[in-house]
Structure 1
Amino acid sequence: MSTQARGVSPLSIFRSRPSSRTRVVAAGLAAAVVLTGCSVGNDKKADPLPAKVCDGLLPTKQVKALLPKGVVTVREDQKPEPKYPVLHCEVSSGDTSFTASAHPLNMSGSDLVQLAGSTTAASAPLLGGNANGVTLNGMTGPDDAWVTRECNLIINGSPLPVGLLVRVRILDGGQSDNREQLAGLVARVAAGVNEHADCGVAPPDRPAPVLPAPAPAPVTDANVCWSVDPRLLGPAAEGAQRARWSSAVTPAYPAEGLAPGTNPGGYVQKCDLFYDNRRVLSFTAVGGYLAPVAEVPGERDRLTHRVSSPVPAKDAAAKADTAVGTVVAAVNAERAEDAGVPGCYTAYRMSRQEGAPAEVAGVPVETVFRAFVAGAQTAPGNCPVAPDAPWLFG
């Protein structure tokens, strides 16, 4: 059931300000430590493989089930060590690769900056929690699952909790929807890194049930992406052309089993627009600690891959980046905590897929994006855009 059907604003249920602790942790990490890569060897190992891969965290059988049949190779570039929570491994068959990684946020490079962009409307919330709160926070889609965790590092002789990004992906894969399998695997990686790196925090709970991907709905005269009048799309959505458009929205996270009032930070809400069943435009609202690092127009050329991990093959990296789409509009909204009113940070983004048809390329970006933000910023829990906030267009 959609959030609209429940009578709940789809943009109001996931906003979370970066807590003062999160901000202190991020600042402390940036100022006190920059971890450097510790390679454990780039040699690929071929069949027969051990029963478990990726530092023994993942059953080989489950990973191979995500790959096409053929000669399977595994390369483990990084493994966690006590108080050193990093991992990177790759299992490949033919042109398809499964990758698993875990890095502190300040080492995650484009993996973190492009996280909101790589999350699509086909992704579902991935949460694990109990009465004490959220222990897994992330999302899982057909070929990409990520969660965030904390790990205590020893900084200047004292333990300091730092944020981790844990991710598993299938690169250059087919059209299969592997969200449930990837959810289980990324939770295993998170738990394993927590143990092998001696993080000193409670292990994550098992993920809550994963919601199915929403089916794109035809675009009619009603608003799409919560607040965009289809007529604003221009000639590409006029008359008979309207029938060529459809849209899909990220489902809301399930709150069952979590503490009352739980509102995890970093949840990405997405609305994708399709033209002839091809994703062409995306609107994103992201809150919490992911918002300040979300990609902005013109940043793509400056992005680097993780400083700690080998850069993937050029063709694989190019395909992965293409799927993210190019950010063409951005504005941030921030409100400080004041007199008991919680603060928040929300990043609004619009992106366009590479190679979009000429009709889509002609959509008036600024007009459409401002309409999206006008509606999104009024949802409870979201930050309103300040009058002097800079709007960026590319």
Structure 2
Amino acid sequence: MMGRKEPLMPSASPRNADADRLQALETQASAIQDVFRHSGYQFIDPPILQPADVFLNLSGEDIRHRMYVFTDPGGDEVCLRPDLTIPTCRLYLAQDAKATRSAKYCYNGRAFRYQPGDPTRPREFRQAGAEWIGSRKREQADAKIIALTIEACHRAGLNDYQIKMGDVGLFFDLIGALPMAEQWRRRLKRYIWQPAAFHELLDRLVKNDGTLHRGPGTGLLNALSKLDEEEARAALGDVLDLAQIAPVGGRSIEEIADRLLAQASEARADALPRDTAKLINDYLAISGSPKRVVMRMRNFAKKAQLKIGGGLDRFEHRLDLMADFGVPINRMTFDAEFGRNMEYYTGFVFELTVPALGDNGQIAGGGRYDTLLHDLGAPKEVPAVGCMIRTERLALAVKGGT
């Protein structure tokens, strides 16, 4: 007679494993919030549902194409928040519409992004972060934010990581100092967050052979470029009315018209000088340890006779403050082309990465966004800097990727 088989009992059921994972995330969240609160940050929980137009206009192409957007029964276009920086800024303005005070906020909540072509990446994820709004001591605030981010990750158990740093403000200084049509300045600034598209655009600006705005609307743009602004606006209004075009992606008909007229204006501008394009490419090729980068940039500016010394002085002062606050400069690499993927950044940017995790290796990041609050309705520009931590990725990194 055969003996009775005992059922195989797993050491932990999927339900128990999920419970353990959630408990670990809660423990981690508590450690991160302790760091933020100890530094004077007030915990907030901004609404998950947000007006879509704000994110469509300010987040950048990478986020814009991955948002969950829908129209509510009242006809308003809304979205699930794809990040928490903009909701935090909107909450600040709801409390202080004139942006007169300094504030420190922290959060730990869910964000939502579509992940095209990769079903293994979560569409709903947790994001912890801190935002410092209104501090006029910009370099000091920058240094304290990155030090705070690192301290929070250390407290959660992360010890092995690398730091990548960039400075969008330095790039803006460069573009402002180089000879070019104003249309090209605006366009190049808009594309720095998309390196591949930026270099393609730079090549086309040098040629400016009519291919700058390719696609079905090329004929319309060419026709508009031959008219003055008043005539072009009237003609475009007639075209949009005849086509009965409705607002798209949160943009009004007036905003669509303004964008098309700006593109038509670009078609009339002179080509970008080749020497100017070469200087831009030479600048963007600069990378390495921050201290060496400062020397290379000063030599670059002196050779090209560019007045960007003020930005470099601020860059160097920020580095000194980071060292004072305990940031491991020896783990840091500067890349002139690095701008992160949010279009609202205006200055210092950074990321903490764990290369062993591959596509999930970006653990934390942040930067300065001095124009965002004005774009959201503040009567003036407001200095602001912040950071975010992808907590599930942080937990994965702490456990060695398992």
User: Which range, TM-score by smaller chain?
Assistant: under 0.3
* Higher relative helix content: 2
TM-score (norm 1): 0.21
